[in-house]
Amino acid sequence: MTRAYSLDTFIGRFLRHIRTTTSLDEVVVVLDNAPCHTSSKDVFEEEEFQDAEMLKLRPYSPMLNPIENVFSAYKSAGKHFLARQLPVILHGPEDTTITEHRARYFELAADPLFAEVVTPDLCNRAFCHSLHHHQRVLRFEDMEIGM
């Protein structure tokens, strides 16, 4: 199963679920420009879902997408973790490269680090921060990228 197929299947199931309580002509799904979202427009062209609307964020509009701030905090924590572990990473097993060893080392820490960094409070703050920018969009104000 390809990533695009999985996302399209998810969107279809999501819209069917929403349709049980809300008319699809009141539904707008906003997607960013991630590569896996490129085929998603096909779902909205299906007769079953044609009343729903899909909007794509313009490239380089992370301020409108709360998850970007959450990912940024997670990536920053990951970089700090790897920097603290640098001596251990540099002296990895002889049969692996430093890049491979670093990747394996980070995989071990990724889930606990995610649970530590991606908290409900962080998600709420990222969401509230994006609302300020959404209001500016509704007023048709120009914004600098990444504000």
Indicate the domain borders of the chain. 3-56, 62-138
What integer is the mean pLDDT of 88-107?
Answer: 83
Confidence band for 91, pLDDT divided at 50, 70 and 90: confident
pTM of this prediction exceeds 0.85 = no
Rounded alpha-carbon distances, angstroms, from residue 76 to 33, 54, 117, 118, 122: 22, 31, 10, 12, 14
- What's the confidence (pLDDT) of residue 134? 86
Residue 40: CB partners within 8 Å, gap ≥ 6? 4, 7, 8, 11, 31, 54
Instruction: Please check whether residue 15 is in contact with residue 24, taking contact to mean a CB–CB distance below 8 angstroms.
Output: yes
Q: What is the C-alpha separation between 117 and 110, in angstroms, rounded? A: 10
Instruction: Please check whether residue 130 is in contact with residue 63, taking contact to mean a CB–CB distance below 8 angstroms.
Output: yes
- What's the confidence (pLDDT) of residue 4? 44
Instruction: Please check whether residue 64 is in contact with residue 137, taking contact to mean a CB–CB distance below 8 angstroms.
Output: yes
